[in-house]
A and B are shown apart, each in its own frame.
Chain A
């Protein structure tokens, strides 16, 4: 069974990179451009892993994760934040919001997939 991934990022470049890295038999990638679109996407899918950017318009990554965790359906789904930051306080904030782990940009395919494998059941 391929893993369903929801990737949320406002940058077209990043979305393209994610699709490029994850495209293949192993992953089904669904894309969203911001947190709110992500919430909408979740009403139609059941991801195995969610990957989200933090700095986004409309609804940012923190808000998105909080909302996902509020619903019982996805309270245990692994959520990886995708960020250029390596600041500990940012990770802590994301963790408080309910993030499972993080991927530091720039990522390569191997790193990305191992991070997903690390949290995906």
Chain B
């Protein structure tokens, strides 16, 4: 990746933050909390996106951002009131802007129809006549027509002033230029000497300095401008190129440029550059009294150092956003890994100090306890660095709700709770699509139409509640709606029609609800453009399972449905049950374990010559002897001597895993085996336990499915 690509990546990352800021700001204004700083930050967000997009030649994005920004400028200057109608357009524009950013990121074309429609809406709001601004001739005209925009970024063409455009004008021309700076020219940091120097680069020139206006010393204003210049320039360049030299001082000087056709300049007529500079220096020396120049430095110090400080503090407080730093995930992973190693080493040392017969309260072990405490804290800290508040994720959902409400004609209010709850960044990223789908479902299928709601005596506006919370070391996310609830008769009928269940199946409510998660199930009678995107709840379930999470559903007729997603805090660490299997230590992911039990003789039933099943509450689970399965021992173990872990795969297949004993339940740092060794069937990864032993983490799905296939 070259530097420019890296900067581009930074830009897209920055865009994400800016879009979130933009949407958040607009929502604040929508809810009546927005103040002028909110509006300013909204404007800045769009403005920054436009600026960056321009740098990378993302014209579509630039054009749209400009149209958007123009309206926001109107809002900012109180020329446009943020009525509901205006905010609706602004929020829709935010969505389009996000789409354009995403399209630019992946290098695709965006839906131009929608973009054009919103540009029209925006222009309507502004009622700005088209083509107000200068049009850059380098841009193709079609692009402007296509987007219906009136903006073209105008780039200053400084090349013409350095090179001179020789190709267009082969013959040399002579110009007479009269240049009289006003005092304001100098106070804005411009220098007549530099302007003359730049002018000299256009061709041969003869410069005369008029010093006649310099007053006597006592009448001199140190800030005054008393010198004028008369320049005769022989050049290939034309008048605009000469005016370009004076671009920054236009209005701060008297300037006349005449094209003359007199004879070329003579050699002697040319004033060497050094001389011009000397003249300029003289002006500076003469222009300021010695007393003034001597006094100024002391004033400078007091002003610069003290004056700004007085009002700095409030500025900082109003800025609000905490300072942040971008760090690549790779580095964080490394840190987390190292901290993991540290924890392991620390506990190994602790075990060495436990010398038999020695009192445990020795000074060394007391200090080691402190070290342990500290390493745990470091570990916690390192993990929280990867964590991000779910706010950004939730903010995206407000867009989904808006779009859904618009396309279905329903009125929906989204309530979000627990936005500050932090989850691993990767989890947030991978949770976006499933959550979007669930929200779409809630709007599309969950909530009734306004008419039906009124009939049922419910408020016309439906409510979707999205909440996140930490619960016993895991994250719980609820998506609930106050809609009609699951229509169980219909769900069951569809499942029968699709052959997912037998016609005479007797199912409990919970079992019917779980049909929704079956592959190939889709309840929409006609595919709506909202949720009917070929993705069913089974995909949602899979995605959540892949994150080590679970999803469940509770529904009450006419009261609505609640989906609950239960997730681990991070992907780098896993909650596992440490079990002993044929003398080996194996970690079984806790998320797969439903229960553990010690089987009684009447629970075990033989099936064929070797297979055995476990009877548990009327259900029969095949017993898998883990030691045998993983090849640790030849013979199958007696189930009555071991412990059984009842596990469930992502697909819902259940099995009873037979292990020797359960040692512990703990968090383990996941170490990839595939990176260093290769893929091992039945094994997901490895970890190092507190006593320094390496332990394998079981891949429950692969073990169970392998048995099912056999």
3 residue pairs, one from A and one from B, having the closest CB atoms: A101-B248, A106-B54, A100-B189
Verify B315–A86 contact, CB threshold 8 A.
Answer: no
Q: Quick one: which of B252, B303, B312 contacts A72, CB cutoff 8 A?
A: B303
Which B residues from 177 to 230 make CB contacts under 8 A with A? 186-191, 193-194, 198
Verify B156–A118 contact, CB threshold 8 A.
Answer: no
Residue among B158, B188, B307 having the largest count of chain A Cβ atoms under 10 Å? B188
Nearest chain A CB to B77's CB is how many angstroms away? 11
- Interface residues, chain A, CB within 8 Å of chain B? 10-14, 16-17, 20, 36, 39, 42-43, 53, 55-59, 67, 69-79, 84, 86-87, 95, 98-107, 110-111, 114-115, 118-121
Which B residues from 283 to 306 make CB contacts under 8 A with A? 296-297, 299-301, 303-305
Nearest chain A CB to B1's CB is how many angstroms away? 13
Contacts of B47 in A (CB 8 A): 55, 84
- The 11 sampled A-B contact pairs (Cβ below 8 Å) are A13-B10, A14-B55, A16-B7, A20-B7, A42-B304, A57-B321, A58-B318, A110-B158, A111-B156, A119-B194, A121-B191
Contact A105 B55, CB 8 Å, known A71-B304, A75-B187, A119-B189? yes
B147 within 8 A of A: no
Q: Quick one: which of A69, A73, A118 contacts B248, CB cutoff 8 A?
A: A118
Contacts of A105 in B (CB 8 A): 51, 54-55, 153
Proximity bits, B118-148, A CB within 8 Å = 1, else 0: 0000000000000001100000000000000
Q: Quick one: which of B10, B303, B316 contacts A70, CB cutoff 8 A?
A: B303
B152: nearest residue on chain A (CB-CB)? A86
A84: nearest residue on chain B (CB-CB)? B51
Contacts of B315 in A (CB 8 A): 36, 58-59
Verify B194–A121 contact, CB threshold 8 A.
Answer: yes
Contacts of A99 in B (CB 8 A): 188-189
Verify B159–A72 contact, CB threshold 8 A.
Answer: no
B610 within 8 A of A: no
Verify B297–A100 contact, CB threshold 8 A.
Answer: no
Q: Quick one: which of A11, A42, A79 contacts B52, CB cutoff 8 A?
A: A11
Contact A55 B44, CB 8 Å, known A99-B188, A107-B155, A119-B190? yes
Contacts A55-B43, A106-B51 known; list 13 others, CB within 8 Å: A14-B52, A39-B308, A57-B41, A70-B307, A73-B297, A78-B191, A84-B50, A95-B188, A95-B251, A98-B188, A101-B248, A103-B156, A106-B155
B564 within 8 A of A: no
B301: nearest residue on chain A (CB-CB)? A73
B261 within 8 A of A: no
Contact A86 B154, CB 8 Å, known A20-B3, A119-B194? yes
Contacts of B52 in A (CB 8 A): 11, 13-14
Report the bound CA distance from A15 to B158 in whole Å. Answer: 22
Contacts of A58 in B (CB 8 A): 315-316, 318-319
Report the bound CA distance from A114 to B300 in whole Å. Answer: 30
Contacts of A42 in B (CB 8 A): 304
A92: nearest residue on chain B (CB-CB)? B251
Proximity bits, B626-648, A CB within 8 Å = 1, else 0: 00000000000000000000000
B191: nearest residue on chain A (CB-CB)? A121
B247 within 8 A of A: yes
Q: Quick one: which of B54, B190, B198, B308 contacts A84, CB cutoff 8 A?
A: B54
Report the bound CA distance from A45 to B186 in whole Å. Answer: 22
Contacts of A107 in B (CB 8 A): 55, 155
Report the bound CA distance from A113 to B10 in whole Å. Answer: 23
Contacts of A12 in B (CB 8 A): 10-11, 14, 326
Residue among B10, B50, B248 having the largest count of chain A Cβ atoms under 10 Å? B248
Residue among B297, B300, B304 having the largest count of chain A Cβ atoms under 10 Å? B304
Contact A14 B51, CB 8 Å, known A72-B300, A100-B248? yes
